[in-house]
Amino acid sequence: MIEKQSLMSGSLSDVTSKLRRTGFGILLAFSILIIIAVVFNRPENLFVAVLLSLVWFVVALVGLWLPNCGDEVAKVWALLSIPIAPYLVLSNGLLPATLIPIGTIFPVLLLKGWWRLLLMVILVSCSFLVPLHAGTYDSAIWLRVCITNITVSLLIFALSHLLESALTESKNKALELDDALEKEKQALASQSRFLATMSHEIRTPLNGILGLTDVVLANTITEQARPNLEKIQCSGQSLNRILNDILDLSKLNAGKLNLEFMPIDLKLIVKECMALYAPIANEKGVSLHIDIARDMSTLVIGDATRISQVLNNLISNAVKFTQQGSVRLSLTFQFTSSGDHVVHFSVMDTGEGISEQQQHIIFDAYAQADSRVNRVHGGTGLGLQIVKNLVEAMGGEIVVNSSPGNGSHFQFSLPLAITTIKEPKFTIVEPKRYFSGHVLVAEDNPINQAVAKSLLEMMGITVALANNGQEAIDSALAMTFDLILMDLHMPEVNGAEAAKLLRELNVTTPIIAFTAAVISDEINNALKSGMDGYLTKPVNKNALHTVLSKYLRTSQNRVDSSISRC
């Protein structure tokens, strides 16, 4: 309550200061005009008229020159005007009385409270002093002037009060909005910190579960044990996907999800997405179809990762909720009136369908069309919210048409510029490839040490371990390595600090951040410290192989029996 009152008081003070500064500016201009008028018209008492104008001129200059003393200067102006204004009417008659309506503007702009009211009453009362002037005057005109002065003064006072109240209220609302936005910003920052910590704490043991499962599955084991291990592997991968969904949604809500636009081939993307769900669809007897407009150019500029993420979510849902029939992915295009190339994506299934009422909530976070869905099909309800946010982040929009028992039809459009540059070709490293080389793994977690050591040794790599950043520095200075995998969060010296020190000591060995961190700022700091890239935990074997193939020599092939069946 006290904070709110302080906020409102500050708002009123700001409004008063701005009005006062405007008032001093108008007073300065008005005093100059009065001086000019006095010089040309030469009233009966020239000295008093010039004196009042000069006083107002000097006060206006001081008020503009010393805005922090505006309140004191305005009160000085009032004290000087209180005796001079009546004397001006007494000495010059009706003419200065006609200027009173203009004069009443200045108390409104310069003063507040009782000072404003007092000076306005005194100025208006000056109209009644005209009969005391020694000269002649027209009584009818004088009466009209008195009525006009009173009416105009009351209107100015009322309007100024309403204007000041409106400005203060507007200022208060703006400050309250800024305060609310700042609190929301702080809440999002706290959420991001919490998610970063949560992600690191979950990914670290998850890396051990998935990594050691991969190691065991890669060796000869009984056929009785293999299915159980594969279930553990699938459960871990499912947990990792849920974690990624939560983090992506957090980044989207905070506006921190970066898009990477480059030449891509939509034909390859849709084929890869469909192929991913072909085994599950085949088991259910659901057919998958891809339709691409014949005259369509599929070479465009876009974010392949995010387009794939959208399609994967939609296809996954379509396959999940279709027990028989088909899932069809279609691509068409059009050129807008402004010449933009827009690609229309369509995912249609013959599944359960969604009621009209449920269609209004399926794009909300943690929402599912039916409460039974989670029990029957699983899932967090985040997928479609992420889809919607990603599509909108890429400049598109998504709609759904469906009815119970008649399947669902999701459509979204993206503005994707056509390009003649083909998608960059990346060397796909087979997980069976064998390497030779010496790798230093800097990791403080014993389980993650065991995972990294086992995975690397399975590929023929000699591994040395360091428990913290300082040990990594000592090891890198003592002997030569082909590659260093460096965790970011370690005691004594963290990964980024260790990398920076090694670069300062002219150690040129490639350093890859090997971390559970997912916040872009943390990863960017690691890259700025001198690291050459990063790998996230849990370990993605394909990503690991890609990194190893870049820095290590390849050797003979080795049979790898770990095949994911998720």
pLDDT digits (tens, 9 = 90+) for 276-317: 889 889 989 999 999 999 888 889 999 998 999 999 999 999
Tokens of 317: 């849902």
Report whether pLDDT(335) > 70.
yes
**In one letter, which amino acid is 513?**
A
Query: Is pLDDT larger for residue 485 or for residue 294?
Result: 485
In the prediction, which pLDDT does 3 show? 47
Question: In whole angstroms, what is the distance from residue 242 CA to residue 232 CA?
Answer: 15
Average pLDDT over residues 417-426: 71
At 225, the pLDDT band (50, 70, 90 cuts) reads confident
In the prediction, which pLDDT does 560 show? 45
Same domain, yes or no: 331 and 470: no
Is the peptide bond prior to 107 cis by the omega test (within 30 degrees of 0)?
no
According to DSSP, the β-strands at 438-442 and 483-486 are parallel
| Whether the Cβ atoms of residue 64 and residue 97 lie closer than 8 Å to each other | no
Those residues whose C-beta lies under 8 Å from the C-beta of residue 399, and which sit 6 or more positions away, are 410, 411, 412
Q: How open is the CA angle 167-173-177, to the nearest 5 degrees? A: 145
In the prediction, which pLDDT does 88 show? 75
Boundary residue ending a domain (73, 104, 137): 137
According to DSSP, the β-strands at 397-402 and 435-436 are unpaired
Question: In whole angstroms, what is the distance from residue 553 CA to residue 529 CA?
Answer: 26
Same domain, yes or no: 450 and 518: yes
Query: Is pLDDT larger for residue 484 or for residue 143?
Result: 484
Boundary residue ending a domain (91, 108, 137): 137
Strand partners for 466: 442
Q: Which region among 51-60, 487-496, 505-514, 551-560 has the lowest average model confidence (pLDDT)?
A: 551-560
For residues 211-226, one letter each, b for 16 or more C-beta atoms within 10 angstroms of the residue's C-beta and e for the rest, the string is: bbbbbbbbeeeeeeee
Question: In whole angstroms, what is the distance from residue 359 CA to residue 372 CA?
Answer: 16
In the prediction, which pLDDT does 8 show? 47
**Is residue 472 a part of any domain in this protein?**
yes
Rg of the Cα atoms in the chain: 39
| Whether the Cβ atoms of residue 407 and residue 346 lie closer than 8 Å to each other | no
pLDDT, tens only, 66-78:
888 878 888 888 8
3-state secondary structure of 553: strand
Query: Is pLDDT larger for residue 446 or for residue 241?
Result: 446
Report whether pLDDT(258) > 60.
yes
Q: How open is the CA angle 46-47-53, to the nearest 5 degrees? A: 90
Cα 420 to its chain centre, rounded Å, is: 33
Average pLDDT over residues 467-480: 94
455 exposure class (CB count in 10 Å sphere: 0-12, 13-18, 19+): buried
Query: Is pLDDT larger for residue 235 or for residue 331?
Result: 331
Average pLDDT over residues 499-525: 86
Tell me the average pLDDT of the chain: 82
In the prediction, which pLDDT does 266 show? 94
Average pLDDT over residues 8-15: 57
**Is residue 170 a part of any domain in this protein?**
no
In the prediction, which pLDDT does 467 show? 94
At 432, the pLDDT band (50, 70, 90 cuts) reads low
Strand partners for 291: 330
Phi, psi of 413, deg, nearest 5: -125, 140
pLDDT, tens only, 51-95:
777 888 888 888 888 888 878 888 888 887 788 778 778 877 777
pLDDT, tens only, 93-130:
777 777 777 777 777 777 777 888 888 888 888 888 88
Tell which residue, 133, 160, 158, 162, has the closest CA to residue 145: 133
Report whether pLDDT(429) > 80.
no
Instruction: Name the H helices within 424-537.
Output: 446-458, 469-478, 495-504, 520-528
In terms of average pLDDT, the best of 217-226, 336-345, 367-376 is 336-345
In the prediction, which pLDDT does 519 show? 67
Report whether pLDDT(366) > 70.
no
HSE, side-chain direction, 13 A CA sphere, residue 157: 19
**Is residue 201 a part of any domain in this protein?**
no
Question: In whole angstroms, what is the distance from residue 245 CA to residue 355 CA?
Answer: 25
Q: Which region among 134-143, 472-481, 543-552 has the lowest average model confidence (pLDDT)?
A: 134-143
Same domain, yes or no: 400 and 267: yes
Range of the domain at 73: 2-137
Same domain, yes or no: 408 and 267: yes
Boundary residue ending a domain (110, 137, 164): 137
Same domain, yes or no: 35 and 83: yes
At 368, the pLDDT band (50, 70, 90 cuts) reads low
Phi, psi of 287, deg, nearest 5: -90, 145
Same domain, yes or no: 9 and 117: yes
The CA–CA distances, whole Å, from 486 to 426, 476, 513 equal: 25, 12, 5
Count of CB atoms situated within 10 Å of the CB of 468: 19
**Is residue 249 a part of any domain in this protein?**
no
At 509, the pLDDT band (50, 70, 90 cuts) reads very high
In the prediction, which pLDDT does 4 show? 47
HSE, side-chain direction, 13 A CA sphere, residue 346: 17
In the prediction, which pLDDT does 419 show? 87
Convert 219-249 into a string of H (helix), E (strand) and C (coil): CCCCCCCHHHHHHHHHHHHHHHHHHHHHHHH
**Is residue 46 a part of any domain in this protein?**
yes
In the prediction, which pLDDT does 44 show? 65
Cα 204 to its chain centre, rounded Å, is: 28
Question: In whole angstroms, what is the distance from residue 86 CA to residue 92 CA?
Answer: 10
Tokens of 289: 């179809």
Question: In whole angstroms, what is the distance from residue 57 CA to residue 49 CA?
Answer: 12
| Whether the Cβ atoms of residue 307 and residue 313 lie closer than 8 Å to each other | no
Report whether pLDDT(9) > 80.
no
Sign of torsion over alpha carbons 250, 252, 258, 262: positive
For residues 6-38, one letter each, b for 16 or more C-beta atoms within 10 angstroms of the residue's C-beta and e for the rest, the string is: eebeebbeebbeebbeebbeebbebbeebbeeb
Same domain, yes or no: 297 and 334: yes
**Is residue 148 a part of any domain in this protein?**
no
Tokens of 405: 């028992």
Tokens of 371: 């409460």
Question: In whole angstroms, what is the distance from residue 121 CA to residue 324 CA?
Answer: 88
Question: What is residue 512's DSSP assignment?
Answer: E
Tell which residue, 205, 229, 208, has the closest CA to residue 217: 229
Cα 222 to its chain centre, rounded Å, is: 51
Same domain, yes or no: 266 and 411: yes
- Does residue 137 come out as left (phi exceeding 0), alpha (psi in the -120 to 50 range) or beta? beta
pLDDT, tens only, 198-210:
777 788 888 888 8
Q: Residue 352 maps to which CATH number?
A: 3.30.565.10
Same domain, yes or no: 272 and 324: yes
Q: What's the number of domains the chain is made of? A: 3
Tokens of 454: 């086992």
Same domain, yes or no: 394 and 450: no
In the prediction, which pLDDT does 376 show? 44
| Whether the Cβ atoms of residue 240 and residue 540 lie closer than 8 Å to each other | no
Is the model's pTM score more than 0.85?
A: no
Same domain, yes or no: 329 and 404: yes
Those residues whose C-beta lies under 8 Å from the C-beta of residue 371, and which sit 6 or more positions away, are none
In the prediction, which pLDDT does 13 show? 67
**Is residue 502 a part of any domain in this protein?**
yes
| Whether the Cβ atoms of residue 44 and residue 130 lie closer than 8 Å to each other | no
**Is residue 70 a part of any domain in this protein?**
yes
Sign of torsion over alpha carbons 198, 204, 208, 211: positive
Same domain, yes or no: 384 and 516: no
In the prediction, which pLDDT does 183 show? 87
At 32, the pLDDT band (50, 70, 90 cuts) reads confident
In the prediction, which pLDDT does 514 show? 85
